Structure 1
C-alpha cells in the first residue's frame, strides 16, 4: 500500500508541528497552576489530547508509554491508558460503510450494532458487540483514512531517522533498518485479513497453555477492513488493579509464560501487549486479543535472541558478547572489539538474577544500545521487536508482581527454544 504522496506528507508534518506547539502552549499555562496534583493531571490530559489529535503512530507510542508507570509516573500512565481502548470512536455511518464494503449487505442486528457505541475504540479500529446467528461476537472495523495518516507518520519517522543517522554519534547505527522494519510492522496492522491469520496462529501457538484464552475468529463475517471473533464478556482494563494481589501475580506469571513461549519457541511476537490487549480475569487466566501489531523473526534471529537471553539469565556475559558479535550488521572502522566484549560482560554481570523491581529492561536496553554505539558494533535490528514486547509486559509486571523473577520464569522456554531447530512455523 502506498499512501505517502508528497503533499499529504507535508500537510501531515505541518499539522503535527502546529498541534504540538498549541499543546505545549497549553502545558505552559497549566504549569502556572498552584496545585501540583492538578498540574500533573492537566499535563497528562493535554498529552492524551495531543495523541488523539495526531492519531496514527502517536497513539501507538502513547499506548506503550501507558504501560510504563515506572517511567512516566502513575498519573501520566493512567491517563495514557485511555488510548488503549477508549480513543474517540469513528462515526457510526463510517463504521457501517466500512463493514458494507467488506461484507456486502449487513443483517439487521449487525447494522444496529455498528450504529451504536463501540465496546472498545483503539488507534486502528473500533470494536462492536453484535449477535449473529445466536452467537455473541466482537466485530472489529478499521477506521477510514487511518492507513494514510499512519503511512505518512512512518514516512516522517524514516526521514527523521535519515537525518539522525548523519549525526556523528549515530553515524553507523542501523536506524534505517530499524525504521523500515518497524514501519512494515505498523503498516501490516491495517490488513485485518492478515490479522485474522495471525490471531488464529496465536491461538494455535498458545493452545498448550489452557490458562491463556485467544478468541476464535468467525471466518464468514471477516473481510477486508473487518474481522469478527467470539465475544468475551467482562473485559475491563482497569479491573486488574481491583483484583486480589495473589490473582494479579498469578495472571502476570501466566502472561509472562505466554510471551516467553511466543518469543523463544516460535519467534512470533505480539508487540502490542498493553492492558487493552491482555486482560487478567478473576480466576487468574489471561485473555490475549488483537494480533495486528505482530512480528515474525527469522529462524536464525529467533535462535540468537534465545541464546542471548539464556546467557543473560545465567550471567554468561562473554557468551552474550559473542552472540551479539555474530549478529552484527555494521562495524565502525577501528571498532574496539575487546572493549565491546568487556562492557557487555559487565552489563550482564550486573543484570543477571534480578527480580522485577530491581531489573529495568528499559535501562538495560538503553545501556546495551549505547555500548554498541560507543564500540562501533550494531546487533541485528530484529532484536528491537522482542525488546518492545518485553518492555510492555515488564511495565505490568513491575506494577502487579514486582517480586517475580522475570528471568528465571524464562528458563523452561529457553531450554525448549535452544533445542528447537531454527525454522519458520
Structure 2
C-alpha cells in the first residue's frame, strides 16, 4: 500500500466504512428480499422486489461513489435488464446531490491558492453533478467560457477505503477451494486501480488532449479541449459545450439513428484497435448530442492505456471472430493468458470457443449479443482452466457499456461488420506518442 493510500486508509476509518457498507447492504437486502417475497406470494406483477429500481438507486446512492459507478454501468443494459430497473438507475448518471456551496468554494479556492485567481466569474451552483465531481460554468480572465470539473471534498478517502474493502473481499474469495486458482488480486489491482485513477485530474486533462488528437479525423465527434494551464489536482478546466441533448433516440429519424450508431462504433473501434487509449465510461451521463446532432464525449476520468500487446491481441481476436475462425480466437486467448491451471484443458477450450464463435458469426446482426458471448467466453475459460490478462476487461467493458445504448438506436446494427474497416488499420502505429504515454514516461 502506498504512503498516500496508507495516510487516507486508517484502520478506524476503514472499520467505520465497513460497518456502514454492511449496515446499508443488510437493511436494503432485507427490504428488497421482503418485497420480492410479498410480490411472489401475491403473484404480483407490479415490478416490485428485485425489480424495484428505485430501491436499487437508493441503495447504491447510500453506499457511495464506487457503487454508484456500478449502477451507472448497469443502467446502460436495457437489452438485458428490465426497464423497471434500468430507468431508475439511469438517474445515477446526473442526479447525485451536490456538496454544500461552502465546501465546493473552499475546495476551488484552495486549488488556486498558489497562483492568481484565473476566473472573471464562477457559478458555484453546479450545472452537472456526478458521484466523483461537480461541474461548474465559469468565465476566465480573458473572456473564455469554460466548464470546471471540481473533485468532491473527501471523495478520495471514501474511494480508497472501498478499494481496501474490495481487496479484502477478493482475498477471501481467493481462499475458497473452487476459486483458489483465480487471479483475483491481479484483477482487482487492474480494474479497481483504473476506477481509483478517476481521482487523478491531471491525468484526465491529459486524456482529453489525447482523445481529441487521436479522434480528430471523426468529423461527427466533439471532445472539449482541456485548458491544461488552468487545471489543478482538484480541478479540470475545459471548453464549455452548450445546448447538450441526452444521448437517446428521441425524435431522430431512422437514417440519423443509424448514422449515430456508426459514429459511436467508429470512435470506440478507433480507440480499441488503433490507439489503445480507451474511454471505458460512455454511459448516458458522458455521451451527448450538440445542437447539430453531432456526438459529444465528456469526462475522460475512466480512460485507460492498453498495453500494445493487449491492443493487438484484442484486435486480432475480434477480426478472427468476425471471420468465424474460432480456433484462431482460442489460440490468441491461450497465448495472451495471464495464467494456465495445472489441469487446464486447452483442446476442450479450442473446441468450445470454435462452437461459440461459429454461433455468433452465424447470427443475424440484430441477434448478436456481446454480453452473452462474453459470458460464454468467460465460463468456457473458467471450466477449461484459463485465466485471461486482466487488461482484457477494459476493452470488453467499453463495448458492453455502449452496446445496450446503441441497440436502442438501431437494433440490427452489425457490430462485427462495422469493426472491419478499423481492424484493417490495427497494426499501423501512431507517429506521435499520446499525452497519456508522455505523462507516464515522465513519472
TM-score where L is the length of structure 2: 0.89
Structure 2 unaligned residues grouped into runs of 5+: 435-443
Matched, 1:26 2:31: yes
Quick one: distance in 2 between partners of 1:228 and 1:146? 19
Shift of 1:88: 1.0
Where does residue 101 of structure 1 map in the other structure?
A: 110
Aligned CA distance change for structure 1 residues 159 and 424 (closer, same or farther; 3 Å): farther
Where does residue 130 of structure 1 map in the other structure?
A: 138
Aligned CA distance change for structure 1 residues 240 and 221 (closer, same or farther; 3 Å): farther
Aligned CA distance change for structure 1 residues 211 and 314 (closer, same or farther; 3 Å): same
2:288 match: secondary structure: strand
Where does residue 280 of structure 2 map in the other structure?
A: 271
1:402 match: secondary structure: coil
Where does residue 201 of structure 1 map in the other structure?
A: 210
Shift of 1:357: 3.2
Quick one: distance in 1 between partners of 2:341 and 2:241? 52
1:14 match: secondary structure: helix
Quick one: distance in 1 between partners of 2:95 and 2:249? 17
* CA deviation map 1:364-406 (0-9, x unaligned): 1121111111111112111011001000011112222111101
Matched, 1:76 2:81: no
2:159 match: secondary structure: helix
Quick one: distance in 2 between partners of 1:82 and 1:236? 15
Matched, 1:331 2:355: no
Where does residue 309 of structure 2 map in the other structure?
A: 300
1:309 match: secondary structure: helix
Quick one: distance in 1 between partners of 2:359 and 2:328? 15
Where does residue 12 of structure 1 map in the other structure?
A: 17
Matched, 1:352 2:357: no
* Maintained 8 Å contact 2:352/2:380: yes
Shift of 1:283: 4.1
* CA deviation map 1:224-283 (0-9, x unaligned): 110111111122336543433432322121011101000000111111010111113464
Matched, 1:211 2:211: no
Quick one: distance in 1 between partners of 2:91 and 2:363? 31
Quick one: distance in 2 between partners of 1:424 and 1:254? 25
Shift of 1:356: 5.1
Pick one of 60, 69, 72 that aligns with 1:60: 69
Structural mapping, 1:24-423, within 5 Å: 24-28=29-33, 30-31=35-36, 32=38, 36-37=45-46, 39=48, 43-104=52-113, 106=117, 110-111=121-122, 113-114=123-124, 116=125, 118-132=126-140, 133-237=142-246, 240-281=249-290, 283-352=292-361, 354-355=363-364, 357-420=366-429
2:26 match: secondary structure: helix
Aligned CA distance change for structure 1 residues 107 and 216 (closer, same or farther; 3 Å): closer
Aligned CA distance change for structure 1 residues 13 and 41 (closer, same or farther; 3 Å): closer
Give the stretch that moved more between structures: 216-225 or 197-206. 216-225
Aligned CA distance change for structure 1 residues 40 and 166 (closer, same or farther; 3 Å): closer
* CA deviation map 1:274-319 (0-9, x unaligned): 0111113464421001110111111111111110111111111111
Quick one: distance in 2 between partners of 1:366 and 1:41? 22
2:110 match: secondary structure: helix
* CA deviation map 1:2-32 (0-9, x unaligned): 1222222221111111112222343356554
* Maintained 8 Å contact 1:270/1:295: yes
TM-score where L is the length of structure 1: 0.93
* Maintained 8 Å contact 1:63/1:274: yes
* CA deviation map 1:34-70 (0-9, x unaligned): 8744637992111111111111210110010011112
Where does residue 439 of structure 2 map in the other structure?
A: none
Quick one: distance in 2 between partners of 1:172 and 1:42? 34
